[in-house]
A and B are shown apart, each in its own frame.
Chain A
Amino acid sequence: MKCRKSKTAALASILIAPLASAQIQTTPEVETNPASLEPADSQVLDSISMIPPFFSRDAIRFVRISPDGKRLAFMRGSDLMVGSVDEGFHAVQDWSGKVTLTQLEWMGNSALIARLILAGSWSGKPAFVALPISNENGQLLAGERSVFEAVGSILDPLPSDPDHVLFISNDVKDGNQFANVYRLNPFEKIRTQLGEADRLNKNFNRASWYVLNKSKKLFLALDSFDATPRLYKRSPGGTKWKLLWQGSANDRFIPLSLNADDSELYVLTDANSERLVAAALDVKSGQVSRIVHSDPITDVYNVVVSDRSGEPVAAVINRDGLIDYAFLDAALEEQFASIRDQLNAATVIIADIAKSDASAVIFTRTPNSTGTYHFCILASGECAEIGEVRPWLNSNNLATTETLEVASTDGHSVFAFLTLPAVPDEKKLPLIVMPHGGPIGVSDNRHYNPDAQWLAHNGYAVLRVNYRGSSGYGKTFLSAGMRQWGRGIEDDIESATDTVFSKYDQLDKTRVCIYGASYGGYSALQSIVRSPERYQCAASFAGVTDLPLLFSQSVYRRDEELRDELVKMVGDPELDLAELREYSPVYNYRRMSRPVFLAHGTEDSRVDIEHSWRLERLLRMADADVQMHEMTGVGHGFETLQQIADFYEPLMRFFDRHLRPMQ
C-alpha cells in the first residue's frame, strides 16, 4: 500500500498534551507506592493498579507484509516477530529496554530495516538497523547491522532492489524544513555520516518531500516555504527542476504516489475545496485533472493505491469518528465486505496490503474491544488471526463510545463522543467533560482512547467534543476556532453537554467535572470561570492559565513565524492585551468558585509550569479549594506508566471527592 502520513497542522497544533493517549513504551506492569496511599484508600489503590492494562502500548504493533505477501513482520511486546501463518511466527530480535521502534519496512522479501530511538543515545538521533532474515532448519533468524544515525525516515525500501534503501533526511535551515535523499546499501558498511556521494538531490536543496517515479528516481519535489506549497518536476534523465504547480498560503497539499505510467500524481489537497479531497494532478500540465474522492462532511485522510495497477482503490475517510473506506475498486469492495462479514467487526481497517494485492493485514474492532490483527487472502476472504492489541483487557468490560452531532450556537455542526461505562455502578452517572488539546488542528475520534476508557472503567461517563477549530472538518470549521479561547470553543463544549443531557437520562446533571490537558486544561479552568453552575470541579494537566504568558517563551520571542501562528490562534499580546487577560484564568481567579486540581510537569517546554504556579498562588491567597500536583521530570505529556499512575492517583481521588462524595 502506498500512503503517506499527513503532516498538516503540525505547526498550528502547538498546545497539545496527549493525556495518556500517547504510546507508552512500558510493559503492562507498574509499581505503585502503597506507602503513599492512605489505608482508607484501598479502593483507589486497586483502581490505580489497573492503569497499565489501559495505558500500556499495544501488544502488537507495526504489522508489515512482505512484498510477495507471504511473510509478516511485527512487534509483539519487545520482540520483533517474523513468519507466516504456515511457518509460524518467530521472535527474531529482542528490543527490550530503552529501545523504541518508530519505523519498520521490508527490504525485498528477506530483510527488514528498522528505525530505533535509543534512550540515552549520545547523538539523540534515530538509529537505522538492517536485519537480514534467514531460515535455518525451519527456524527464522535475523542478523543485525547498525547502518547509520540520522534524523529522517526511509522514503522507500526499494523492494525490487533488496540491497538498497532510499533515506530522506529531515533538516531545518533558517526555520524552513528541507530534505535530502540518499541511496544507501545498509549491508555495505556502517556509516557515521551520510556521504555526499550517496545524495540524490544534488542540484535541488529546497524541497521537504520527494516523489519517486516507477524507475525509483526522484521525479517530483515539494516545498512549503512561507506555508505555500510548490510542486517541482524534474524531467526524466535531466537535472533541472521546474515549478509545476503552486498553491496559496496555508493550502494543504500532500503528494501520495504516481500512477502506473507516471502521468498523474495522486494527492490530498484543499487548494480549491473546503475540505481535503483526493485528487489526481496531471504532471504534464500541472492541473488537477480529476477529483478522485471527496466527502461532504470530513476530510479525506488517505488514498489506498494498488501497487499492481498504480490506480487508487479506496479513499480513507472518517465516518462517525471511525476510519472507513470509500471504495473506488468494485472487486476490493466486494472482498472487503466479505471479510467484514466473516470477522463480524464494526471497524475494518487495511493496515498493510501486499504489492501483489493478493493478501493484506486487516485490523478489526468491535464497539467494545480494543482490536485484533488478521492476515487475509483477499480473493478467498480467508483470514487468520495474528493477535489482539490488548489481550489483557476483558473486552466485555470495555466502554462503548457513541457519536453525537450537535448544533452549535452559531450554526456549526459539531461532533462529540460520549463514552459510557460498560458496567455502570450507579443509576445516574457522573459525567466528565474532556476537551482535547490544540485547540486548532487536533481532533478526537471514536477509536480506543485510554483516558476515556480508564475514566469509564471507574464509573464515569466521558464526553469529548470536536469543537470548532478541530481538524478533519474543513477550512471554515478549522479557522472558526481561531481566537476563540474561552469563547466559541467553550460554547461548543457547552452545546454538546446540553445535548447529551437531553438525550441520555442516565447522566446526572448535578455531578459534572471538566478536565483536560494543555488547551484542554485551559478550557477546563476557564469553563468554571464562565459557567460555574455547570460544573462541580475542574482539573488541568499542563494547562494554560495566563494567555499573555504564552508569548514570554523564548521560542516565540525568537521565531517570528511561530509567534505569528500563536497570534492568529490566541490574539496579539500587544494589541489585544486586555482581551487576553479577560480570557485568562489567572486574571479571573476570583470568579473560580469550584474546586481546582492542577498538575504540571517541571520539564514542560510547551506550557511552562509557571502557568500553574501563578494560578495556584492566587487561589491559595484567596483561600480557594486548590490542589497542585507538581510532577518532577515530566514534560508536556507522559512517558512512562509510572508517570500516568502518579498523575491519575490524586486525580481519581479528586473526582471521587467532588463527584461521588457519598461513596
Chain B
Amino acid sequence: MYQQKSLLRRHTAIAAFVCALFMADPVSAATKCQRIAIKQIAKFDKQLAKVQARFEERRNRLVDGYLQHIDDTDRRDALAADLEAVVDGFELDDVLSRSREKKSVLTEFIAADEPEACKAGDGSAYIFDRTIEVLGVNHETALEALQDRIDIETVGPNEGLVVLAMYIDGRVMRLTLDKRGSMTGARAFKNVKVGQFFRIIKLPAGEYQWTTVRTSEELTRSYFADRTLYYYDFRDRDLSFKVEPGKLNFTGVLMYSGSGYADIKDRTSIVMRLVENRYPEFLERYPAVNGLVPGDKYLDFFLSEKRSWQEVQQ
C-alpha cells in the first residue's frame, strides 16, 4: 500500500506540472482534461471487462470440467461451494471496488466541468493500468489455487498432502520449494500476497526445502527505488520438511520478511484451526503428521484428545 501511494505521489507531481502548463489557458485546459479523463475511463472499462470475462471463462472451464466427473450430487454441490471459496479467498472484488472508487471520483469531476479536473485525473491512467495488471496476477493465483484444490481430491500411492502456511511481510514475486535430491524445483509460488497464505497441495513423498525468493525493490522499498530484481537464497537456513505418502503433512509456518529473512516455525495448533475450518474432511480421510518435526507427538495427542472430548459430548 505504501508503495502504491509513493508511486501515486510521483505521478501526482508529474500531473501537477502538466496541469500548471495547461493553466495558462484555463478553459482550454479543462476541456483537454475532460477529454483525457473520458478516454481513460472508456479504455479502463473495456480492458476490465475483457480481463474479467477471460477469467470467468477459464474458471468455469476448470470447475465445470472437474465437477462433471463427480456423480454424487451432494458431494458435487459441496465441492463446488468449496472451490468457489478458494476464489473468494483472493478478494478479487476488493481490487475492482478500489478502482471503481477512483473512477467515480474522476467521473464526478468531469460532470462538474471543473478546471481542476486535471488534478483529479492525475495518476488515474497509472492506477487503471495497475488495476488491470494486479487483477490479472490475482486471477492467475486464484486459478492456480483452484487447480490445487481440484488436484488434492485424488492422491497417488507415492503422494502426500502438504499443508502450507506462510506469513509474508513483503512482496514476493516467486517463492521456490525444492525437493532434496532433485535437479528441478518442486514448486514455485508466484506473486504471493502480503499477509497470510494457506493452501493444501499434493507432492510426491520426500524431503523438501524452501530455497529462494525473488522480489523487486520497485514495489517494496522506497519512492526512488528502481525496478531491480532481488534474489534471496536461504538454503543455508535449512527450511526443510518431510512429506509422507498417504498422509496430511503439516509443515509449520514459513515466516518471510521483506528484507530477505525467512524462518519456519512449528505452529501446528494455529494451522490445525485453519485445516479444521477449511478442510475438515481431509482430517477424516488422512492421518495427520508433523512433517517439520517428525518426532513431535502433539498432533497425535491433540487429535486423540479431540476425539475423546467429542465422544464425551455425544
Residues of chain A touching chain B, judged by Cβ–Cβ distance below 8 Å, are 546, 548-549, 551-554, 557-558, 573-574, 577, 581, 586-587, 608-610, 613-614, 617-618, 621-622
A552/B269 contact (C-beta < 8 A), A558-B238, A577-B297 known? no
* Closest CB in chain B relative to A80 CB, distance in Å: 32
Is A621 in contact with B309, judged by CB distance below 8 angstroms?
yes
Which of B4-12, B31-39, B191-199, B288-296 forms contacts with chain A?
A: B288-296
Q: Name the one of B237, B264, B266 contacting A549, with C-beta atoms under 8 angstroms.
A: B266
In angstroms, Cα B306 to Cα A621, docked, is 7
Which are the 6 A-B pairs with shortest beta-carbon distances? A552-B266, A613-B269, A552-B293, A610-B267, A614-B269, A621-B309
* Closest CB in chain B relative to A624 CB, distance in Å: 11
Q: List 6 A-B contacts (CB under 8 A).
A: A546-B298, A552-B292, A554-B238, A558-B237, A610-B270, A622-B309
In angstroms, Cα B305 to Cα A609, docked, is 21
Return the chain A residue nearest B268 by Cβ. A610
Is A610 in contact with B269, judged by CB distance below 8 angstroms?
yes
Return the chain A residue nearest B292 by Cβ. A552
Does chain A have a CB within 8 A of B301? Answer: yes
Given A554-B263, A610-B268, A610-B269, 16 new contacts (CB under 8 A): A548-B296, A548-B298, A552-B292, A552-B293, A554-B237, A554-B239, A558-B237, A609-B267, A610-B267, A613-B269, A613-B270, A614-B298, A617-B269, A617-B272, A618-B302, A621-B305
For A577, the chain B residues whose CB sits under 8 A away are 295, 297
Is B295 in contact with A610, judged by CB distance below 8 angstroms?
no
Q: Tell me which residues from 225 to 272 in chain B have a Cβ below 8 Å from any Cβ of chain A.
A: 237-239, 252, 263-270, 272
A557/B238 contact (C-beta < 8 A), A610-B266, A613-B270, A617-B269 known? yes
Return the chain B residue nearest A615 by Cβ. B269
For B237, the chain A residues whose CB sits under 8 A away are 554, 558
* Closest CB in chain A relative to B233 CB, distance in Å: 16
Is A610 in contact with B305, judged by CB distance below 8 angstroms?
no
Q: Name the one of B272, B273, B298 contacting A586, with C-beta atoms under 8 angstroms.
A: B298
In angstroms, Cα B266 to Cα A546, docked, is 12
In angstroms, Cα B293 to Cα A557, docked, is 10
For B297, the chain A residues whose CB sits under 8 A away are 548, 577, 581
In angstroms, Cα B258 to Cα A346, docked, is 53
> Which of the listed residues B238, B272, B296 has the most CB atoms from chain A within 10 Å of its own CB?
B296
- Residues of A contacting B: mostly: helix
In angstroms, Cα B297 to Cα A577, docked, is 9
In angstroms, Cα B306 to Cα A227, docked, is 45
A553/B301 contact (C-beta < 8 A), A558-B238, A610-B270 known? no
Is A574 in contact with B295, judged by CB distance below 8 angstroms?
yes
Return the chain A residue nearest B265 by Cβ. A608
Return the chain B residue nearest A610 by Cβ. B267
Contact size range, B:
20 to 34
For A557, the chain B residues whose CB sits under 8 A away are 238
For B267, the chain A residues whose CB sits under 8 A away are 608-610, 613
* Closest CB in chain B relative to A346 CB, distance in Å: 47
* Closest CB in chain A relative to B301 CB, distance in Å: 6
In angstroms, Cα B290 to Cα A573, docked, is 15
Q: Name the one of A554, A573, A613 contacting B295, with C-beta atoms under 8 angstroms.
A: A573
Return the chain B residue nearest A618 by Cβ. B305
For B269, the chain A residues whose CB sits under 8 A away are 610, 613-614, 617
In angstroms, Cα B293 to Cα A551, docked, is 9
For B272, the chain A residues whose CB sits under 8 A away are 617
In angstroms, Cα B264 to Cα A573, docked, is 19
For A586, the chain B residues whose CB sits under 8 A away are 298, 301
For B301, the chain A residues whose CB sits under 8 A away are 586-587
Q: Tell me which residues from 270 to 313 in chain B have a Cβ below 8 Å from any Cβ of chain A.
A: 270, 272-273, 292-293, 295-298, 301-302, 305-306, 309
In angstroms, Cα B270 to Cα A610, docked, is 7
For B252, the chain A residues whose CB sits under 8 A away are 552
For A622, the chain B residues whose CB sits under 8 A away are 309
* Closest CB in chain A relative to B220 CB, distance in Å: 15
In angstroms, Cα B238 to Cα A644, docked, is 36
For A617, the chain B residues whose CB sits under 8 A away are 269, 272-273, 302
Is A548 in contact with B295, judged by CB distance below 8 angstroms?
yes
In angstroms, Cα B270 to Cα A613, docked, is 7
* Closest CB in chain A relative to B256 CB, distance in Å: 13
For B238, the chain A residues whose CB sits under 8 A away are 554, 557-558
For A574, the chain B residues whose CB sits under 8 A away are 295
For A553, the chain B residues whose CB sits under 8 A away are 265-266
* Closest CB in chain A relative to B290 CB, distance in Å: 9
Return the chain A residue nearest B310 by Cβ. A621
For B264, the chain A residues whose CB sits under 8 A away are 554
For B273, the chain A residues whose CB sits under 8 A away are 617
Is B266 in contact with A608, judged by CB distance below 8 angstroms?
yes
For B306, the chain A residues whose CB sits under 8 A away are 621
* Closest CB in chain A relative to B223 CB, distance in Å: 15
In angstroms, Cα B302 to Cα A608, docked, is 18
In angstroms, Cα B297 to Cα A610, docked, is 14
In angstroms, Cα B270 to Cα A609, docked, is 10
In angstroms, Cα B263 to Cα A554, docked, is 7
A552/B309 contact (C-beta < 8 A), A557-B238, A587-B301, A610-B268 known? no
A552/B296 contact (C-beta < 8 A), A557-B238, A558-B238, A617-B302 known? yes
In angstroms, Cα B265 to Cα A608, docked, is 8
Q: Name the one of A549, A558, A573, A608 contacting B298, with C-beta atoms under 8 angstroms.
A: A549
Return the chain A residue nearest B273 by Cβ. A617
In angstroms, Cα B301 to Cα A581, docked, is 11
Q: Name the one of A549, A608, A609, A621 contacting B296, with C-beta atoms under 8 angstroms.
A: A549
* Closest CB in chain A relative to B306 CB, distance in Å: 6
In angstroms, Cα B238 to Cα A372, docked, is 52
In angstroms, Cα B267 to Cα A93, docked, is 46
In angstroms, Cα B293 to Cα A549, docked, is 9
For A609, the chain B residues whose CB sits under 8 A away are 267
> Which of the listed residues B267, B298, B309 has the most CB atoms from chain A within 10 Å of its own CB?
B298
In angstroms, Cα B296 to Cα A548, docked, is 7
Encode contact with A along B113-153: 1 for CB under 8 Å, 0 otherwise.
00000000000000000000000000000000000000000
For A613, the chain B residues whose CB sits under 8 A away are 267, 269-270
In angstroms, Cα B298 to Cα A617, docked, is 12
For A614, the chain B residues whose CB sits under 8 A away are 268-269, 298, 302
* Closest CB in chain A relative to B272 CB, distance in Å: 8
In angstroms, Cα B293 to Cα A617, docked, is 20
In angstroms, Cα B266 to Cα A609, docked, is 10
For B305, the chain A residues whose CB sits under 8 A away are 618, 621
* Closest CB in chain A relative to B184 CB, distance in Å: 25
* Closest CB in chain A relative to B9 CB, distance in Å: 21
For B292, the chain A residues whose CB sits under 8 A away are 552
For A549, the chain B residues whose CB sits under 8 A away are 266, 296, 298
Return the chain B residue nearest A620 by Cβ. B309
Return the chain A residue nearest B240 by Cβ. A557
* Closest CB in chain B relative to A453 CB, distance in Å: 35
In angstroms, Cα B293 to Cα A610, docked, is 14
Return the chain A residue nearest B264 by Cβ. A554
> Which of the listed residues B263, B269, B295, B309 has the most CB atoms from chain A within 10 Å of its own CB?
B269
> Which of the listed residues A549, A558, A610 has the most CB atoms from chain B within 10 Å of its own CB?
A610
